Structure 1
Amino acid sequence: MKKGIIILLFIGLLAACSSQDQEDTSEQEAISENNEIALDNAADRAEELSPSDANEEATDTEEMEEQPTEGPIEEMTERKIIYHANLSLETNQFDEAIRFVEEETESYQGYVVHSSLSNQSGEENRVATMTLRIPAADFETFMETIEEGSVHILDKSVNGEDVTESYVDLEARLSSKEVVEERLLSFMEEAEKTEDLLQISNDLAAVQEEIEQLKGQMNYLENQSDYATIDLHLTERNVSLPSVQEESASTWDKTKEQFMNSVGALLSFASGVFIFVIGNLPVIGLLVIVLGMLYFLIRKFRKKAVGTDESK
C-alpha cells in the first residue's frame, strides 16, 4: 500500500515538473513571438502616424486608432522661409561703408560669416566681398538701412524658399521614430533571452541614429529660416577731383595746344598754296597770257567803237 502511494506521488511530481517546463517554454515563446509582432506593428504603425497621433500613442499605447490631422500647416507650426539676398554696391567712401555694414550687422544681432578684401595696395579700386547672417525678422529693415547708406546699388536680388512642409514632414517622422524608440525600450525591459536583447538593441540603435539625423535636418532648417543670408559685393568708385593747380596747368596746356594747332593749320594752308602755284606754274603762265591777249583785244575793240561814234 505504501509503495503504491509513493509511486503515485512520484508520478504526480514528474507530471507537475513536465507541465511547469512546458508552461515556461510556452510563455517564453509567446513573449518572443509577441515581441517580434509588436516590433513589426510598432514600426509599421509609427511610420503612418502624424505628429498628434504620435504624442497620443506615446501617452496611451493601448489606443492604436489613427487620428486625422486637422487644420492647415500654418496652424500646426510657424511658417519657415529661407531668405537669400545678393547685393552689388558701389561707393566712393569705401572704408566708411565697410565699417557701416559691420556695425549695422552687429546692431541687428547678426554676424559676419565671410569677409575678404582685394586690391589693398590702392593702385586700383578696392573690392570687398562679405557674407552676412541677419535675423529673418529684421531682414527687410536691414536691407533698407544698407541701401540708405553712402552706397550706389548696382544689382539686387532676393530669393525666398518655403520649407514649412519639409519641416512638418521631418517633425512627423521624428515623433514616429520616438514612439518606436519608446516601444523598443519597453520591449528591452521585458525581454529575457539574450538573442532577443541583442536584436532589440540593434533595432534600437538604428532607430536612435535615424532620430539624430532627423533632429540634425530640423536644426539646419530652423537655423536657415531663423537667419537670412546676404552676399554683399562692394566696389570702390574712384571720383578724385583735380586741384586748382592741376586745373590751371591743364588750361595752359590746352591753350598752347590750340595755338600750335592754329599755327599748324596756317602753315599747312600756305604750304598747300605754294605747292599749288609752283606745281601748276606752266598752266598759270599760259592762262595769264591768254587772259592778257583777251584783255588787249577787248580794249582795242572798245577804242575803235568809241572813234567810230565820235566821227559820226
Structure 2
Amino acid sequence: MRWLPCLYWFLCIGLIAACDRASSNFENGDVKESSAPQSEAAPPPPPGEVAPKEAKGEANVEIKLIKTGTLEFETSDLESTYQRIRTAAQTNGAFVSNESTANEYDRIVQHLTIRVPSRNFDPLLSAISKGVKHFDTKNIEAVDVTEEFVDAEARLKTKKQVEQRYQDLLKRANKISEILEIEKQIGELRAEIESIEGRLRYLSNRVDYSTLDIRFYKKVAEHRVVEENRFGRAFRNGWDGMVSFMIGLTSIWPFLIIFGIGGYFFWRRWRKK
C-alpha cells in the first residue's frame, strides 16, 4: 500500500497542471478578443449636409411660389395694344380681374389686372412684351410661401386631432358643466381651424394664379391754360366783391332796420336841442 501516497501526489500534480493550462488558454482568449478591432459607429453627417432620410423628406415637399409682376410702357395705339393683351390672356387661360381708363395731364392711361395660371405666367409675359421697345417699369417677383404653407397644414392637422379627442370626450361626458366646457373648447378649436383653412385657401389661390398688373398709355397734346386779361380779371373780382357785400347786407336786414329807426329818433332829438 506504499504506492497509494505516490498515486495521490501524481493526481494532485496532474490536476494543478491542467488548471494552469486552462487558465493560460482563458487569458490568451481574452487578449485576442480585446485586441480585435471594434466596429466604429458611422460618423454623423457634416453640419452643412442633410442626412439621406431628411433629404428625402424635404424632396417630397412641393415648392409654393406666389408670382406677381408689374409692367408700364408707352404705346402709339391704345386699342390695338388692349386687344393684343386680351388675346394673349385668353390664349394662356388668364382672365382680367380689374380694368380702368384715366385721362391724365398729357396722356391717356389704361390699367389691366390679369390673373393667370402660374404655369402660364412666363408665356403670357413674353407675349405681352413683344413689340414693346421700352418699359418704364418692369418688376417681376416670386415669393416663397412653402414654409408658411407647411406650417399651416401641420397646425391644421394637430388642431383637428385635438378636436376629435374633444368630440370623444363629449360622448362620454355626463355632467352638464363638463358638456358645456367641452363644447366651449370645441367652438374655439373650430374657429381656429376655419381660420387656418381660410388662410390655406387664400395661399393656394395666390399660388395657383399669378397676378400681372399692366399699365400702358398714349401721350396726347398738353392742355395749356390761356392767361386771362388782368383788367378783366380785376373787374370780375370787384363785381364778385360787390355782390358778396350786398348779400351780406341782405342777411342782416333786421339789424339795419333797428339801427335806422334808432338813429332817426336820436337825430330828431339832437336837432330840437
Match of 1:181 in 2: 163
TM-score norm. by structure 1 comes to 0.50
Are positions 1:96 and 2:41 aligned together? no
User: How far 1:72 sits from its partner (Å)?
Assistant: 6.3
Match of 1:107 in 2: 91
- The 2-side partners of 1:222 and 1:71 are apart by 25
Identity %: 29
- The 2-side partners of 1:171 and 1:90 are apart by 44
What is the number of residues matched between the two proteins?
169
Name whichever structure is richer in helix by fraction: 1
- The 2-side partners of 1:177 and 1:70 are apart by 25
Structure 1 residues 76 and 88, CA gap change in structure 2 (3 angstroms) = same
User: How far 1:154 sits from its partner (Å)?
Assistant: 2.5
Match of 2:70 in 1: 86
- The 1-side partners of 2:57 and 2:128 are apart by 34
Structure 1 segment 1-312 matched on structure 2, within 5 A: 70-71=54-55, 74-119=58-103, 124-149=106-131, 152-237=134-219
Paired residues of 2:67 and 2:143 also in contact (CA < 8 A): yes
Look up the equivalent residue of 1:115 and give its one-letter code: E
**Cα RMSD between the aligned structures?**
2.3
- The 2-side partners of 1:77 and 1:106 are apart by 31
The structure with the largest alpha-carbon Rg is: 1
Q: Which runs of 5+ in 1 are unaligned?
A: 1-68, 240-312
CA displacement 1:244-274 (0-9 Å, x = unmatched): xxxxxxxxxxxxxxxxxxxxxxxxxxxxxxx
Match of 1:248 in 2: none
Look up the equivalent residue of 1:138 and give its one-letter code: N
Structure 1 residues 125 and 155, CA gap change in structure 2 (3 angstroms) = same
TM-score norm. by structure 2 comes to 0.57
CA displacement 1:90-112 (0-9 Å, x = unmatched): 11121011121122222222221
CA displacement 1:190-223 (0-9 Å, x = unmatched): 1111111111100001111100000011111111
CA displacement 1:96-138 (0-9 Å, x = unmatched): 1112112222222222121111129xx9531111211111111
- The 2-side partners of 1:72 and 1:216 are apart by 30
Look up the equivalent residue of 2:77 and give its one-letter code: Q
Q: Matched residue of 1:223: which SS?
A: helix
Q: Which runs of 5+ in 2 are unaligned?
A: 1-52, 222-273
